[in-house]
Chains A and B, each alone.
Chain A
Amino acid sequence: MSADWLLYHVGVNAFGERTQPLLQDINLHIEAGKMTLLLGHNGAGKSTLLESLAGLRELAAGSIRLGDEPLWTERGKKRINRAVIGRIGIAMQQSEAQWFASTVREELAFSLRPYRIDGSEAEERMQAAMASIGLELSLLGRDPWTLSGGQQRRLAIACLLACQPDWLLLDEPTAGLDTEGIQRLIGMLNEYRATGRGLIVATHDLESLLPIADRIIVISDGRAFETSPAEAALTMGAAAPQAMQGEALLRNKGWQGALSPAGITQGDGEAQWQSPEELALLMAAELQRKSNGETRIQSRLVSPRFAEEEMLVPEESRLYAHSADSESSSGQRENRQPNKEIFYDPRALVAAYLIVTAGLLSLNSLIQLAMGALIAGGLVLPFRKQLIPLLPIIRGFLYFSLVFILIGAVSMQPFELQWSKSEPIAIRMLQLWLIMILGMPLLALMSPIRLQRGLEQTFGWMAKLRVPIHSLSLLVMLIFRFIPLLMREWVRFAKIVKARGKSTARGNGIPLRLLTYLFIPYIRAILRMAESMADALEARGIGQTSVRTTQGFKLFFTRADGVMILVAVAACAVLLVVRFWL
């Protein structure tokens, strides 16, 4: 029997954020030898919880233990406890996109590497893992990318099984599997549980997995609630297994007599729902009894359309209750309020930036530069929030500059450091550093469409000279859309590789030794993403070159823009005064 999970007041924040909790105050005791389902709509925090258990997310609060072992070492510098992550295997969503090796065997060997298992034992484990998930051994020599989608998903799980972990953490394991694949998966999950090891599965597929679950944890708005399979089923609305909805239908019609005597679930999670034939027999009996004129129960009249799921479960108790304009719908916790910041005219921003930059560049001693730093700091102060995520870059550039200054100071004969030699370098580098800091909030202050419009309004006349200015400005918008997606993919693959390599590195960092395993799947994913984006944009009619584009709105200089430029001019004037009189 393996150890249980114990979570005390666990809180997890979004990366680089201090105020937006993805999970808060989670207290759970997850037992080994059982299958625990995590339910909740997209964005509720199911995946975050799984990743936190696997050490892929740092905790903002609380602690996680596996039996006696803490997941994060408590003394000294915070590190992940290798003893814990070695005992778990996690398969994240779309983990089938992770392959980098040229054969299935090498992929399995990579997963086994952190356990220092090779030779005949490794071979045995690989074969056992392949067999238990229903993959033929002949596939071991194949290129993983040539397997079908379903086979690739199973291979991802085989990679976990080969390591014989005490715990399996699976995120949407049934997605993309056909009926047969799901049957195999369920067989494997049952076998795994029977050996006393534990399973935690995040899923929407209640039809397949609810019948074999022992415990249910519902994640909603970043909090976790425990419930029984029967109770959970009642709150699931349209997502509940159809058989369960059948039960609800009978109850709703007041045909209590027709309910199966056993109820919805029995004992240790072994659900016993009525087969369609049983349900039909019960219904037929009721209908015939009624048509014979017996107690006529008022049945609910239902409008022919749009009765869809409105009738089975009261609105407020539904797990998947959404409405497009209610604030409680999914993914909303990660929200900021709708952007209320004032957007400046991009042209004004660029002009103001150039003016201040000119002032900064005119400075030529360290004392003047110190004054310049004060002024630049004052200008950036209102936008300091935008700088927080960029602090590592600012710090990085400063270290980089210091190294340069140091190298510049070295003189060889005799070997010594001379300040006089490196002072000009120091001035230049620090000037650039200030200009960089000043430039950083710029992009956050203009939205892509306004930047695009600024470009078009400033350079639109060039279209007459056959400069493809409208295509270029579209490109600007695309880049804005693409960069966050690129970063998201990187984080996703970094997590997969770290989980497989059992890396103990914190946060988003990835150890150098694992980097090579990350590149191939990452580049592949980006190419595929670019292709599907090009496809979808074309299908939506954005790429039509034949039509003349129009402008639905235009930018105008506002008071705020004027004030900003005046401030910039004033700052520049002060800098020039400093330059010539100090």
Chain B
Amino acid sequence: MTHHAQLELKHISYAPISLISESGGDILTDIQMTVRHGEWISILGMNGSGKSTLLKVAAGLIRQGVRGSLHRAGIGRDKPIPIVMQHPDAGLIGSTPWEDVVTLLERQGVPAEGIVPLAEQSLKNVGLINRMHQPLETLSGGQKQLVAIAGCLAAEAPILLLDEVTAMLDPGMTSIVCSHVRRLNQQGTTVLWITQRLEELMPSDRTLVMSEGRIVFDDSAGELFRRASSGEALGSPGELLGFEAPYAVKVAWELGAQGIELPYIPLTVNQLAEAVSWYER
């Protein structure tokens, strides 16, 4: 894994053109962000905090009204990076997964002879190879999101930009989509993952919290709920930012109070189990 920057945002601010004359109309304010190759970045924040806008600016979909500098490494750096959004039905165009990915590649002008193998390979990567000729309306919401992700892979998106792709899925489908994307990330794909659900995070994820157009937290997800050791009254960054601590976090705090320091702060009960296993060794 190389560690040089794949995407760099320096002092980025953004206001829609129509609001630029008014003061304080900024949707993004002084964003500093560096994305390294192969990184997983989770982005949290309330509705309206600017998460989706940040993603669109980073993707190059919004250019007008953006101040500051944006650098992208690698070839094709002028092409916008595709984003997958939360509504499974909205972004798909074909009537089967195969048609959808093929059409997407054709529309992007990929050389004709490579299209079909590329499309089939990327559908295979998200586990849909056996369903690629099945009518779209017979797929579940999670499978539709995987089709959209396959489209990004096929189009050789340098970064997977996923904007609350699990928001409309049930718990089972959420975990399928999560585990597929986690696997792609382990194989080296850079992922920016916007979510509202803390349980989708891993303690080691780099996590950004957005609030009122600013990045107000940038550290690992575990640190989000680490209470300052000096006194409980201070509270963890997560609490100060208005997140309700998950059950497992509360257990970890109480364990800490009992003198048992886990190697990291777990966000789910399963991670708690792992943390305890590590502690026992």
On A, residues with C-beta under 8 Å from B are 41-43, 179, 204, 237-239, 242-243, 245-246, 248-249, 252-253, 276-277, 279-281, 283-284, 287-288, 290, 299-302, 304-309, 311-312, 319-325, 329-332, 334-336, 338-339, 447-449, 452, 474, 477-478, 480-481, 484-485, 529, 532-533, 535-542, 544, 547-553
Interface residues of B (CB under 8 A from A): 56, 59, 61, 79-80, 82-85, 87, 89-96, 99, 102-112, 115-116, 119, 126-131, 133-135, 137-143, 146, 148, 151-152, 155, 169-176, 178-180, 182, 186, 199, 202, 244, 246-248, 250-255, 257-260, 268-274, 276-280
A550: contacting residue among B112, B175, B248, CB under 8 A: B112
Closest 4 CB pairs of A and B: A552-B115, A320-B172, A280-B254, A276-B250
Whether A179 touches B244, Cβ cut-off 8 Å, given contacts A42-B169, A279-B251, is: yes
Q: Are A280 and B251 in contact (CB under 8 A)?
A: yes
- A302/B277 in contact, CB under 8 A: yes
Q: Is the CB of A42 within 8 A of B95?
A: no
* Cβ-neighbour of B276 out of A243, A287, A551 (below 8 A): A287
A242 to B245, CA, bound (A): 12
Given A449-B103, A477-B103, A539–B95 Cβ distance below 8 Å? Answer: no
**Shortest distance from the beta carbon of B176 to any chain A beta carbon, whole Å:** 5
Q: Which of A42, A338, A541 meets B141, CB within 8 Å? A: A42
Bound Cα distance from A363 to B108, whole angstroms:
49
What chain A residues lie within 8 Å of B93 (beta carbons)?
Answer: 474, 477-478, 481, 537, 542
CB atoms of B170 and A287 under 8 A apart: no
Instruction: With A284-B255, A287-B260 as known contacts, state yes or no: A249 contacts B269, CB within 8 Å.
Output: yes
Instruction: Give bound CA distance, A484 to B136, whole Å.
Output: 11
Query: Which of B99, B109, B143 is the one whose CB lies under 8 Å from A549?
Result: B109
Distance of A403 Cα from B154 Cα, bound (Å) = 56
User: Would you call B96 and A447 a contact (CB within 8 A)?
Assistant: yes
Q: How far is the CB of B204 from chain A (nearest CB, A)?
A: 9
With contact pairs A287-B276, A338-B134, A449-B103 given, residues A324 and B258 touching in the complex (Cβ less than 8 Å): no
Contacts of A301 in B (CB 8 A): 277
Q: Which residues of B contact A290 (CB under 8 A)?
A: 280
A-B contact pairs, 19 of them (CB 8 A): A42-B141, A42-B170, A238-B172, A248-B269, A276-B248, A284-B255, A299-B280, A312-B269, A325-B128, A332-B138, A334-B138, A338-B131, A338-B133, A447-B96, A449-B95, A535-B90, A536-B85, A539-B56, A551-B112
CB distance from B64 to the nearest CB of A (A): 14
Cβ contact within 8 Å between B171 and A239: yes
Q: Which residues of A contact B280 (CB under 8 A)?
A: 287, 290, 299
Q: Kindly provide the distance from the CB of A343 to the nearest chain B CB, expressed in whole angstroms.
A: 11
Contact of A245 (CB < 8 Å), options: B105, B111, B138, B270:
B270
Which A residues lie within 8 Å of B260 (CB)?
283-284, 287-288
Q: Contacts of A280 on B, CB cut-off 8 Å?
A: 250-255, 257-258
Are A321 and B244 touching (Cβ within 8 A)?
A: no
User: Contact: A307 with B274, CB < 8 Å?
Assistant: yes
CB-contact partner of B128 in A302, A324, A335, under 8 A? A324
Q: How distant is the Cα of A394 from the Cα of B272 in the complex, in angstroms?
A: 63
Give the contacting residue for A204; candidates B116, B170, B258; CB below 8 A. Answer: B170
Residue ID in chain A nearest B111 by CB atoms:
A550
Q: Which of A320, A447, A533 contacts B99 (CB 8 A)?
A: A447
Check A325 against B131 for contact (C-beta < 8 Å).
yes
- The answer to whether A330 and B107 touch across the interface, beta carbons within 8 angstroms, is no
Known: A311-B270, A449-B99. A300 touches B277 (CB 8 A): yes
Q: Which B residues touch A246, using CB under 8 A? A: 247-248, 251, 269, 272
Q: What CA separation (Å) do A454 and B140 show in the bound complex?
A: 30
Asked if residues B110 and A550 are in contact (CB atoms below 8 Å), the reply is yes
Given the complex of chains A and B, what is the CA–CA distance between A277 and B273 in angstroms? 16
Task: State the Cβ distance, B123 to closest chain A Cβ, in Å.
Answer: 11
B115 touches A330 (CB 8 A): no
4 other contacts beyond A204-B170, A537-B91, with CB at 8 A cut-off?
A245-B268, A329-B143, A331-B139, A540-B82
B126 touching A324, Cβ below 8 Å: yes
Q: List residues of chain A with CB within 8 A of the CB of B102.
A: 449, 552-553
A245-B269, A287-B276, A308-B270 as given contacts; A281 in contact with B172, CB under 8 Å: no
